[in-house]
Amino acid sequence: MFDFDATLPFMALQFLLLAALLNAIFYKPLTKVLDDRDSYIRTNTLEAKESLAKAERLATEYEQQLADARRQSQATVEAAQLEAKKITAEKIAEAQKEAQSQREQASIEIEQQKQEAFRTLEQQVDALSRQILEKLLGPTPVR
């Protein structure tokens, strides 16, 4: 079947030469391109992961800042509401004191007017009583 003459070493040499030539011309550039492509993909994947991690970190940080700002604004609103309630209560108490003071003053004035009206009425009653007595009894001597 096979002839082992001078063609066998020549064929082996040809095969080795072809393998070396293919390795130098085809396989090395091809493996270089594949290695470069693999390196490019790894670099881009790593950069993408870093960018994603940075974006997630920033999002978490912004959410924390937003939550802090909401808490601060809510605390400010609550403080303002408490201050408004306090001021309202003070104003109401002041108005009630003023109203009580005015009622007391009005009550005093009414009492004074009542006393004066009684005095005036008493004087008028005395004068009318004298006039009635004088008409009924006549003039009375002065003592």
DSSP string for 99-130: HHHHHHHHHHHHHHHHHHHHHHHHHHHHHHHH
The pLDDT profile of the chain, 143 residues, written as one tens digit per residue, is: 566 677 778 888 999 999 999 988 988 989 999 999 999 999 999 999 999 999 999 999 999 999 999 999 999 999 999 999 999 999 999 999 999 999 999 999 999 999 999 999 999 998 988 888 888 887 666 55
Distance between CA 44 and CA 52 in Å, rounded? 12
The three-state secondary structure class of 5 is coil
Distance between CA 64 and CA 55 in Å, rounded? 14
Among 16, 38, 19, 17, CA closest to 28? 19
What is the value of pTM for the model shown? 0.47
Helix, strand, coil percentages in the chain from 3-state DSSP, rounded to 5 = 90, 0, 10
Contact at 8 Å (CB) between 140 and 134? Answer: yes
Q: Residue 50 is encoded by which pair of tokens? A: 């870093």
